[in-house]
Amino acid sequence: MSNREDILRDDTFKGQTDDLERRVFYTLKDKKGMELHRVMKAITLVVVRLREHGILDDDAIDEMLLECLR
């Protein structure tokens, strides 16, 4: 089984590019039909982290989610 560093190198392109934008893009863009799932999970993790750091509050999250439904 792969260890954390192997996964980071092989599946998240760590050390293969100095450009964070490309690294994130390449990680989310996969060839296994999981692209939508990966993008949704990444957005979810970002929102949760922003809330944990006090950047977003529950009202702002509610408004964002309502906007997604319109």
- pLDDT tens for residues 13-22? 999 989 999 9
pLDDT at 46: 97
Which H helix or E strand runs over 40?
Answer: helix 35-52
CA distance 59 to 67: 12
Question: With contact defined as beta carbons under 8 Å apart, do 15 and 22 qualify?
Answer: no
CA distance 52 to 63: 17
pLDDT at 20: 93
Residue 25 scores a pLDDT above 70: yes
pLDDT at 1: 62
CA distance 49 to 40: 14
- pLDDT tens for residues 44-59? 999 999 999 999 999 9
- Lookup: tokens for 5: 């560093």
